[in-house]
Amino acid sequence: MGLRRLKIIGNGDAFGSGNRFHTCFYLESDKTKLLVDCGATAIHHLLESGINLNDIDLIVISHFHGDHFGGIPFFMLNSYFLTGRTKPLTIVGPEQCETRVEGLTEALYPGLNKKFREMDLTYLEYSKTIRFSDLEIRALPVVHSPPSNPHGIRVESGNNTFSYSGDTEWTDSLYDLSLNSDIFICECNYYESKVSGHLNYKILKDKLKKVKSRRVLLTHMGEEMINSDQVAHETTVQDQEYDF
Ligand SMILES: [Zn+2]
């Protein structure tokens, strides 16, 4: 019982550095299939990866920036018009999740929220631990642009734990978030530049010495990170699958 499989659908930063797709991680447990973040480019690569959108039960959003939740309206478009989705879809995110997703949809496809609401959609917010089928999902606030309501995410199932920093500067809450994880995915946008709301490798590599996770993968890397030959930690690889 537990998490079975992680596939990296997108691992890029907001700028498309290295021609990488925006953040989207596909996770599978014994009973549930979910996306952790669904960035603006997710739909292309989900389809290319052969993932059936109708199989996905849950979309978990770390924060309200386009490279992390901008793909949801396209997910809905495909589900409503092409596949006629009847399976329930639950979207989990920070406070005002439904308003934010519907606001984005209204901006991109005015009037379509009414149709999308015909699907079996449920929105849940991170006020407490969320129990969904065989999953427990917790979110901790992190340090990024406040209007995006940034969170790190922890998904547990059976004996397995997946954790993800979201976009953030270093905060000690990442120690709790990642404690005893099988896989901890941590953003590392820069190698040495200090940019508010993001991590750089020079700071992160020391902090990681105290992180208690079986495996750490760096993600959301900009050109500085992609081009550095000084990175000693494992990085996410698009299309790669990881077992638990
Ligand atoms: Zn981002």
DSSP track, 98-141? HHHHHHHHHHHSTTHHHHHTTS-EEEEETTS-EEETTEEEEEEE
User: How far, in Å, from the CA of 39 to the mean position of ligand 1?
Assistant: 8
User: How far, in Å, from the CA of 13 to the mean position of ligand 1?
Assistant: 5
User: How far, in Å, from the CA of 218 to the mean position of ligand 1?
Assistant: 13
pLDDT tens, residue by residue, 41-77: 999 999 999 999 999 999 999 999 999 999 999 999 9
**Largest pairwise CA distance in the chain:** 51
User: How far, in Å, from the CA of 28 to the mean position of ligand 1?
Assistant: 23
Average pLDDT over residues 186-205: 97
All domains of the chain, ordered by start, with CATH? 3-226 (3.60.15.10)
User: How far, in Å, from the CA of 191 to the mean position of ligand 1?
Assistant: 16
Q: What is the DSSP string of 168-212?
A: -S--THHHHHHTTEEEEEEE--BSS---TTS-BHHHHHHHGGG--
Residue 127's pLDDT band (boundaries 50, 70, 90)? confident
User: How far, in Å, from the CA of 14 to the mean position of ligand 1?
Assistant: 5
pTM (predicted TM-score): 0.97
Residue 1's pLDDT band (boundaries 50, 70, 90)? confident
Question: Would you say how long the chain is, in residues?
Answer: 244
C-alpha–C-alpha distance, residues 79 and 175, integer Å:
37
User: How far, in Å, from the CA of 67 to the mean position of ligand 1?
Assistant: 5
Q: Which of 233, 177, 183 is nearest to 28 (CA)?
A: 183
Residue 213's pLDDT band (boundaries 50, 70, 90)? very high
C-alpha–C-alpha distance, residues 61 and 46, integer Å:
16
Q: Is the pLDDT of residue 128 over 90?
A: no
C-alpha–C-alpha distance, residues 109 and 158, integer Å:
40
User: How far, in Å, from the CA of 65 to the mean position of ligand 1?
Assistant: 7
